Structure 1
Amino acid sequence: MQDSPPGSALLSLHARVDGISAGMVARAIEDRSMLLTWSMRGSPYLVPVAEASVYTTGVLPPAETALRHFVQGVERAVDRLGLTLTETADIVAAATREVLPGRQLAINELGAEVAELITPRLTAPQREVWIEEGAYAEGQPIGEAVVHFCVRVLALRRIVCFAARAENKAPFVLTEEWLGHPVEEADPAVARAELLRRYLRCYGPSTRGDFAAWLGVRAGDVDPWWGRLGEELVEVDVGRTSWILAADLDSLRTSTMPFGVRLLPPRDPYTQLRDRETIVDKVHHRDNWRTTGDPGTVLVDGEIIGTWRARKNGRRMRVEMKAFEALSRRHQDALAAEAESIALLRDASSVSVEVTTY
């Protein structure tokens, strides 16, 4: 479950699991059964610790060109340093292992300390670039920005992960310290194959291009994932040539529409589907997916029929829903009940619901 904005993973779980609570999720992180780490597209995800290698090792692009696309924005800086991104990540990893033991550091603190430690280890021309103010943030040296980018790679290498959130921050820790044991090596090829299986089970029928967009690489770079499954895949026609796991084909053919209502958060797994016209008419794509500030989506009987946002003032919460067309009284009542259950998750004592149409 992607957890950006923070709290989205909780709402995604609520849409799928009866009786979920914020305390249950917090305890799952504290007792190390769930792990919060950067994963697909360099975004924070809540994943099972027992299967973390699928969503870390399985995500890490093996080729330099694919890695550069995955960590977009760092290319010019590492080129000026005369290094590959892989070499730069190795340098940052070594320094992080010196800085982070026994500590929990927010990204800005970690970036500053690691960058400072690396500075004297660089050649004179590299140091000039490293300490120069960059274009990423005012007053931020290029070196600190490079560390920020490379921490995404370190998370996929399972060197660092997030500790539990505190004071609205999720600090970084060494993964082996957080889990209390050394991180076992995982076979990257096996992890990549399993990641693609999980993707196709969730989003199939799908294409190489859609998988690449979901993962965070280019379509031409997916062979290390796609090429592993071979005869496990079967080609289907759903208005375009797509692929699905052969083992899931019968389930797809006999599937039925679900019943009920759900308020899905921004970046819920369901709305991460790249073939968006499958689930939402194209005329409403801009309403559902925005460059920044995505709303949540309203799901009624298996169809996305609108968007929603929640605003909390003290312990009062207001939910504003905008539907693509008028809703029946039955659906409005069911959505009001769903909003009340979300208010409880967010520790609100009361909730008001306003429903309008686009």
Structure 2
Amino acid sequence: MSGTPRYIGPAERRARLALRHRLAASTRAATPEEVADSLVALHGTDPATVYLAVGSRLADPAGTVAETARALYEDRTLLRMHGMRHTVFVFPASLTAVVHASTGLAVAARERASLLKHMATAGAPDAVWLKEVEDSLLAALARRGQATAAELALDEPRLREQFVYAAGKNYEGVHTVSTRLLKVLGVEGKVVRGRPLGSWTSSQFRWAVAPEHPELDVAEAQSTLLHRWLTACGPATEADLKWWTGWRVTDVRRALTAIGAEPVTLDEGTGYVTAGDLAPLAGPAEPWAALLPALDPTAMAWQQRDWYLAPELRPALFDGSGNVGPTVWWNGRVVGGWAQRADGEIAWRLLEREGVGREAEAAIEEAAERLRGWVGATRVTPRFRTPVEKELSSG
């Protein structure tokens, strides 16, 4: 590209967000698969986030729970697995091999080495013993189809064995072989999380053998993943890309070159879009409001967030570890927070008034009623609590 890179300002970035993240009413999806495909990945650390993120983007959210469960546990068109930054996500099944090769392999090597080191330090059995237990676990899981760690330990009692982690340190703890081994196997792409033990908000899962997928070249997989994400979230800075992927900056730069990404000018500095994505976007014709859940993939997509989230709002909307809570959006900006109360009411509060008038408040209230309607009798408490969410939920 020659000449001065085109400037893309906050307004245009918000328009892209509304269209590509299916947040404006006219862009909403018909299925959970369409939502996940548009966003590339749904945060899965808090199981409720997956359903709430999908429901906020469906044209008809009434079937959110049933349809998302179908995609996750029956059709397996969506898979819950470890991905970028060693975080649990839900991905389209077509991307699992790409995520595994681009990100999972390096993390998996570190996780297995860490487990073996901790076991050796504690005087636990060696790698040969661990491999025997692993093979036995996978065979038992294949026979059962889906199982909890406790059920697998009935078939392979060695999974119950424990070892002391960080002996003598202030963070000393006792680890069970099953807990650590299943985590390693998950990162290695050998097992995936199956149906939860409780409702769709439960964080206790069964395990299942992961579907087979081809082994891809790491560099090609990184290029594919970055292209998919930049299509959904571009423009983005190099810092955004490094943060979201968890890769080394050299990997990010190599992938940007491989896909022919084009530089643009942002308020934060140089950003990138995919080749051919420089044309201005008019954005949705209608104004839009949304109530997005804690850890929503839109709110957590970029490291540099000033163009949609005012810095002064962060202390109220994030926990101490940087996890975003439930947010209220108006036309591409975070303007408040929300929570569900014990009686099921969806309570929300504006934290920013600029540009938020009666039309916005009416649209936000409509979004709150829409959410309350499909969530029904289920009570949702975010895994990571934030100041506004705590205050509103107890009101």
- TM category (shorter chain) comes to 0.7 to 0.9
What is the CA–CA distance in structure 1 between the aligned matches of 2:275 and 2:107, rounded to whole Å? 29
Asked if 1:15 is matched to 2:43, the reply is no
Q: Does 1:34 align with 2:78?
A: yes
Structure 1's 267 and 90: CA in aligned 2 closer, same or farther, altered over 3 A?
Answer: farther
> Which residue of the partner structure matches residue 237 of structure 2?
207
Shift of the alpha carbon at 1:18?
0.5
Cα offset for 1:299?
A: 1.0
> Is the 1:299–1:305 Cα contact (8 Å) retained in structure 2?
yes
Matches within 5 A, 1:1-358: 1-20=42-61, 21-29=64-72, 30-62=74-106, 68=110, 77=118, 80=121, 94-103=135-144, 104-106=146-148, 116=158, 131-134=163-166, 140-141=174-175, 143=177, 146-147=180-181, 149-154=183-188, 157=189, 159-167=190-198, 168=202, 169-176=204-211, 183-189=212-218, 190-219=220-249, 222=251, 226-227=254-255, 229-230=257-258, 232-239=260-267, 240-250=269-279, 253-256=280-283, 259-272=287-300, 273-291=302-320, 294-313=324-343, 316-325=344-353, 327-348=356-377
Measure the CA separation in 1 of the matches of 2:156 and 2:238.
37
- Structure 1 gap segments, 5+ residues each: 120-129, 177-182
Structure 1 residue 229 displacement after superposition: 4.2
State the alpha-carbon separation in 1 of the partners of residues 271 and 330 from structure 2: 27
Equivalent residue letter for 1:22: V
Q: Aligned partners of 1:79 and 1:259: how far apart in 2?
A: 59
Q: Is the 8 A contact 1:205 1:244 kept in 2?
A: yes
Q: Which runs of 5+ in 2 are unaligned?
A: 1-41, 380-390
Amino acid at match of 2:340: A
Tell me which of the two structures has the higher relative contact order, counting C-alpha pairs closer than 8 angstroms and 6 or more residues apart.
2
Identical-pair percentage = 20
SS of structure 1 residue aligned to 2:226? helix
**CA shift for structure 1 position 262:** 0.5
Alpha-carbon distance change, 3 to 317 in structure 1, aligned in 2, over 3 angstroms: farther
Post-superposition offset of 1:170: 1.9
SS at match of 2:147: coil
Counterpart AA for 1:163: G
Alpha-carbon contact 2:164-2:173 (below 8 Å) kept? no
Q: 1:228 to 1:216 in 2, by over 3 A?
A: closer
- Residue 76 of structure 1 and its aligned partner are, at CA, apart by 6.3
CA contact (8 A) 2:86 2:107 kept: no
- Which amino acid counterpart does residue 24 of structure 1 have in structure 2? E
8 A contact 1:133–1:140 mirrored in 2 = yes
Call closer, same or farther: CA 1:163–1:149 in 2, change over 3 Å: closer
332 and 113 in structure 1: CA distance in 2 versus 1, 3 angstrom threshold? farther
The 1:73–1:184 alpha-carbon spacing in structure 2 relative to 1, beyond 3 Å, is closer
Distance 1:115 1:267, change over 3 A: farther
Amino acid across the alignment from 1:271: A
Residue correspondences, number = 321
Does the C-alpha gap of structure 1 residues 50 and 137 become closer, same or farther in structure 2, counting only changes over 3 Å? same
TM-score (norm 1): 0.73
Instruction: Using structure 2 for the length normalisation, give the TM-score.
Output: 0.67
The amino acid that maps onto 2:194 is A
Alpha-carbon RMSD across the aligned residues, in angstroms, is 3.9
